[in-house]
Structure formats: structure tokens, C-alpha cells
Amino acid sequence: MKLTCLSSGSGYQFPPCHILEDVCGFRILLDCPLDLSALSVFSPVPPDNDFVSDGKASYDSARDCFDKEQEIQKRQKIETPLHGKDLIHDELWYKTVKNLHLWDPSSIDVVLISSVMGMLGLPFLTRAEGFSAKIYATDAAARLARLMMEDLIAMNMEYQYFYGPRESGGPHWMRWEELELLRPELKKVVVGKDGTELGGWLPLYSSADVMDCMRKVQTLKYAETACYNGTLVLQPFSSGSEIGSCNWTIDGPKRNIAWLSCSIFASAHAMNFDYGALRGRDLVLYSDKQFLPLMDEVQSNDASSTIPSNDLSSLSRYCSADKDDWKELTESLLSTDEILEKEKMDFICSCILQSVQAGGSVVIPYNRLGILLQLLEMIPVLLESLAADVPIYVISSMAAELLAFTNVIPEWASKPRQEKMFSGEPMFSHVDLVNKRKLHVFSAIHSPELLTTWQEPCIIFAPHWSLRLGPVVHLLRRWSGDENSLLILEDGVDPDIALLPFKPLEMKVLQCSFLPERRLPKVDCMLKLLQPKILVLPDDLKEKLDFSNPSLDSFSVLYYTEGETLSLPSSPEGTLDLEIASVLAERFAWQNLGRQDVMYTRLEGELVMEQGKFRLLPGITSADSHPSKNKE
């Protein structure tokens, strides 16, 4: 079996992408995301008054103006500060996974999706000629991904209206002479460090592509089993990171595999990390790199850790214990995540309150449904305690459908949420907020209803977190000069490039990760909990995890590198399991082989593969062809 890391990813917004080869003869693609952070190299659609005095500038005059400004800016010295005019002024193209376009789509047999973000690039693949793979995702992830893709298409239409028909032969910025004139910071994003990523850029898919893609997806619930070709048994289990996000188990006749994606041990909104089915596996592929920057921080300045020291010592004690105390270990892991997530939400809410009390407005480009739902619960409570009349808006083409979906997902939510539903209460508080007119949901920023209810200061949730398309672009242009206003960004985008079009910028910017911070002791404890036979890790962890700990030396450790293929050890010979039908088992007639410890028996039957296992079933005999002879 072989593992190829196509992309190591960059956090929740751009998860890693891998290909597993020769899994019982099949090729499996793990996730198919889009690098939406790369949109930052483009300039947003400019406001009308930048080019139009009478409101009717043509596409050609706008493009000519852009070209002249770009040419002047490109010829400037390289030492000049990066400016908004250095960005690419053209219709958006989208960056797919590095090197995925080099693989033959017809050679992929199975696609497994771990999260909503891991599905956004799938329509590019499903529309490719020869693609016929079976796609598996959780029902919640598939439905949320469809909404997100449709929203992306709706926001992208603004660029299409402004720039007009696409150029034949590709956009002008992809020509090599144009790439040479790009600023180094932008060129690195466009072509990659080694200059091999230019082929991954594509214009966005259409709504028809999305519909065709979703028809090819088989959706599952948590722990539901799907069998591919009678050989591979596939099951998703909650990863805790988001509603519908999951880890996968892949069971075959020769070995059982677990793929561990972005996971947190406890969540305030999603079902907790289900580790039980992942324990004791032959092989665990660990692709979660969300914590790597945090681990560097701990090593360089341990005192700055946000986890109390007593929690760290407690975790370390469990990891080094001679006697496994699984209950205490898991409770410690879960409680730590709950504390960290709550601390982060409390801090974000305190920053929001400071801004609105100073008369400023707050813009939150949301990406994760769970964070949106949690903040919609916490912010109104704090505003009410201060008797502050500050409206909250959610602006998105899919906002109403997205919030409505949260009312029908009890099986995907955390246990406290499920208990609220069973007691007759809404799982999330936004339902009451809408009824009390404290929360206003609109499909577009130019909606007449929004204009009639508009009030400042206000708090607005709107896409897109790349700051290149959607309502957030217009909101930032409105408040970028207000020093009391606040922009809250999630990690995953370079703020130096993302904020260029809005400079000079006076408003405050808070960038943070909404995921709980995982530290070295927690990773050690999780690995001890899972106890795989073979553990496959990203090479970034080679110098960061210490496997000399006696509790962690019971399994082999391999490391993979982006863009390289890693050969994984074969299963030991003689370990195949065979299920024999009870009718055949009754015919056992053991004979000695000549050695005292070896006996054999002869059986006649049909060897089949079902549900990932070899089974020996009774064959059709001559007696079976005469029913009268089989009567008892």
C-alpha cells in the first residue's frame, strides 16, 4: 500500500489531501478541498465611483483603466511597499489541490470526505472526463457543502457581471510574462514555492456542476456502514470539529485503517470526538496539522501556554502512567477542550462589546457554522446585560436555509443540544432571536428590507472570509476608516495581503483560531489512547513528538512529506480471517498432518468476499439439484 500527500493543507479552511493506493487493489482519495485563501491575490470588484461618474461605464473602459494602472505599478521598483494596485484585477479563478490535476480521474475508485471544506473542490473532479468513483460523506457535511458552494457561485457572479465574458486561451495574468511582473509575495501564492502550482487554477464551477456532483455522493450517518465492491467497509465517526465532520475507518480483509482528520475532543455544538472505533487499528493516518504553530509556541515559551499548568501536568501524568486509566484520561482530554473553546468565545465577545460600546460596528466573516451559532447565542446575552440596543444581521444568499437546517440536525449536535431539543426547547437560540427581531437575516446587502431596518452600530455576520467577494467587501469599505469598528478574522488568510484593498485601515482587526488549542501532551495522550500498530504522521511532527516515552513505543511510526509517495508496510502473512458457514463447520473431519501441532480438514464450498471479509459458503452440490433428496 502507498500513501501520497498531494497537499499538507493549511488548517481548517484548507484541509490536507491524500491518495491511498492499493487498498485491496483500490485507489482512495481523501478529501478534495479548495485553497480559498489564495483568492487574496485578486482585487475585489471596485466600487462604481472608482470608474464610473455616470453609473454606466462599460466593461472595456474599466478593463483599459485597470491595465494602465497595473502596468505602471508592475514597473515600479521591487522595494516599494505592497499596494492594493499590485493585486490581480481580473475575474476570480480558484486554486485546487496541488498536483491533483496530474492524476487520471478514472483511476480513482473511492473518495472520502471528512468535512464541508474538504468537499468544496469536488465539482471540479466529478465533471472531469472518465471520473466514476464512489463518493462518501456524512449527510450533514454534504448538505452544508452544497449550501456553501451555491453561496460561492452567487458571490462570484459579481465578478462575472463586472468583467464580462471570459478571455479565450486563459486570463492574461496567467501568461508567463505577466507572472514575471507579479510581486514576489503574490507570485508565491499563484505558482507556489517551486513554480508547479499554476496548473491548479480554474474558473469556478456552475450550479449545474454542483447538482451533478451531489447526485454522485452517497451520504451516511455517523457509524453507518457502507461497503464498496464487497471488499472495503467504510464508516464515518464524529471528529468533533464541526457539524457533520468526521474521521473514517476503512476495513478490508487484510488490514483495518483509520484516517484521523481535524479533530477536537469536545465541542459546544457538534457531537464529541468518537475515538472508540479508532482504537487498536492496524494503521492510523494522522493528517491533522491544526496544532503545529501552537506546538512551536509551547516549545519557545512554555509560560505563554493558555492551558493551566496543572492541566499539563495532569495530562503528562496519564501519559506516563504504567496502568492505563482510560476513563480519567478521556475525561481530562474532553474537559480541557471545553475550557479552551469557552475561553476563546468569551474573549471574542468581550472585544465585540468594547467596539459597540465605543460606537463602532463589528464585521465577522463567518466560515464555520458552529462558530456562527455559538456567537449568536453569546452576543445577545451580553448585549442584554448592558441594555445595549445593537442589531445583529446575518447577510448571505443561503443564510435563511443555513439557519433553518440547524433545526433538523439533532443526531449531529452535542448531547446538551440534543437534550434541549428533547425537552421542547430549540437546540440553538437564533430561532427565538429572529422571532424577537433581535436577529435579522437577509439574502443580499442591497436588499430593500435591510435598508429599512438598518441601524448603526451593528454586528454583522457575512461571507466571505477571504475578503475578496460577498457582502464583507462592501462592509469593509464602509467602516475601514472607523477606528472604533472591528473586523474578526479566523486564521487561514494572510492579513497583510487580504487587507490591502482597504488601506489605509483604521478599524481594529482581531485574527484568531476558533479551534481549541492542542498541545504536545494532549497529542501524546490521544496516541496512547488509540494504540495503533502503525502510525503515519506528517513530517512536521518528526522533531516535535517524543516517542521515547515507554507508553508510546508499542507502535511503529512513519512520516510522510507533501508531494512524495510513502510505501507502507504490508500486512503480515497468514493473518487473513475466514468465516466458515456453520453447515460446513459441522463437516469438519480433522486429520493429523504428520506433525503433532498441525491438523487439517477438507471442505468443499464457495469462497466469496462480503462486507470486507472472506466467507466460505456451501456450494451447489449434485444433491442440491434434486430437492426431493434434501427433504428431512
To the question of pTM greater than 0.75 for the whole model, the response is yes
Q: How far is CA 229 from CA 100, 254, 471, 553, in A?
A: 24, 15, 45, 36
Q: What is the pLDDT of residue 405?
A: 85
> Rounded to whole angstroms, how far apart are CA atoms 236 and 140?
12
> Rounded to whole angstroms, how far apart are CA atoms 576 and 553?
26
- CB distance 335 to 368 below 8 Å: no
Residue 358 CA to its chain's centroid (Å): 36
Q: Which of 95, 216, 208 is nearest to 153 (CA)?
A: 208
- C-alpha cell read off for 343: 475561553
> Rounded to whole angstroms, how far apart are CA atoms 369 and 392?
16
Q: Which of 468, 426, 467, 461 is nearest to 445 (CA)?
A: 461
> Rounded to whole angstroms, how far apart are CA atoms 89 and 83?
13
> Rounded to whole angstroms, how far apart are CA atoms 500 and 343?
31
Low-confidence ranges of the chain (pLDDT < 70): 48-79, 167, 289-341, 515-524, 546-553, 571-576, 595-596, 611-612, 620-632
Residue 549 CA to its chain's centroid (Å): 31
Residue 485 burial (10 A CB sphere; 0-12, 13-18, 19+): buried
DSSP 618: E
Q: Which of 93, 88, 57 is nearest to 74 (CA)?
A: 88
Q: What is the pLDDT of residue 547?
A: 67
Q: Strand 93-95 to strand 201-203: parallel, antiparallel, or no bridges (unpaired)?
A: antiparallel
537 forms beta bridges with 559
Q: What is the pLDDT of residue 252?
A: 86
Q: What is the pLDDT of residue 241?
A: 85
Cis before 504 (ω within 30): yes
Q: In sequence order, what are the residues at sequence separation of 6 or more whose Cβ sits closer than 8 angstroms to the Cβ of residue 3?
A: 18, 19, 20, 21, 285, 536, 560, 565, 566, 568
Percent of the chain's residues with pLDDT above 90: 41
> Rounded to whole angstroms, how far apart are CA atoms 484 and 353?
11
Which strand (E) or helix (H) includes residue 334? helix 326-357
Q: What is the pLDDT of residue 97?
A: 93
> Rounded to whole angstroms, how far apart are CA atoms 527 and 224?
24
Q: What is the pLDDT of residue 584?
A: 78
- CB distance 246 to 275 below 8 Å: no
Compute, in degrees rounded to 10, the torsion defined by CA atoms 96, 98, 104, 109. Answer: -80
> Rounded to whole angstroms, how far apart are CA atoms 249 and 153?
33
Q: Strand 134-138 to strand 226-228: parallel, antiparallel, or no bridges (unpaired)?
A: unpaired
Q: What is the pLDDT of residue 118?
A: 95
- CB distance 271 to 417 below 8 Å: no
HEC string of 284-329 equals EEECCCCCHHHHHHHHHCHHHCCCCHHHHHHHHHHHHCCCCCHHHH
Largest alpha-carbon pair distance within the chain? 101
> Rounded to whole angstroms, how far apart are CA atoms 191 and 194?
7
> Rounded to whole angstroms, how far apart are CA atoms 235 and 276?
13
Q: What is the pLDDT of residue 149?
A: 96
Q: What is the pLDDT of residue 35?
A: 95
Which strand (E) or helix (H) includes residue 251? strand 246-251
Q: Which of 196, 195, 228, 207 is nearest to 157 (CA)?
A: 207
Q: Which amino acid is at 436?
A: K
> Rounded to whole angstroms, how far apart are CA atoms 207 and 150?
7
Residue 51 CA to its chain's centroid (Å): 38
Q: What is the pLDDT of residue 153?
A: 96
- CB distance 123 to 210 below 8 Å: yes
- Report all structural domains of the chain as residue ranges with CATH numbers, in order of start: 2-33+97-166+203-305+519-567 (3.60.15.10), 65-93+171-200 (no CATH), 319-512 (3.40.50.10890), 578-631 (no CATH)
In 3-state terms, the chain is what percent helix, strand and coil (to 5)? 40, 20, 40
- C-alpha cell read off for 424: 421542547
> Rounded to whole angstroms, how far apart are CA atoms 253 and 233?
9
Q: What is the pLDDT of residue 623?
A: 43
Q: How far is CA 439 from CA 179, 211, 376, 391, 551, in A?
A: 45, 31, 9, 7, 51
- CB distance 262 to 285 below 8 Å: no
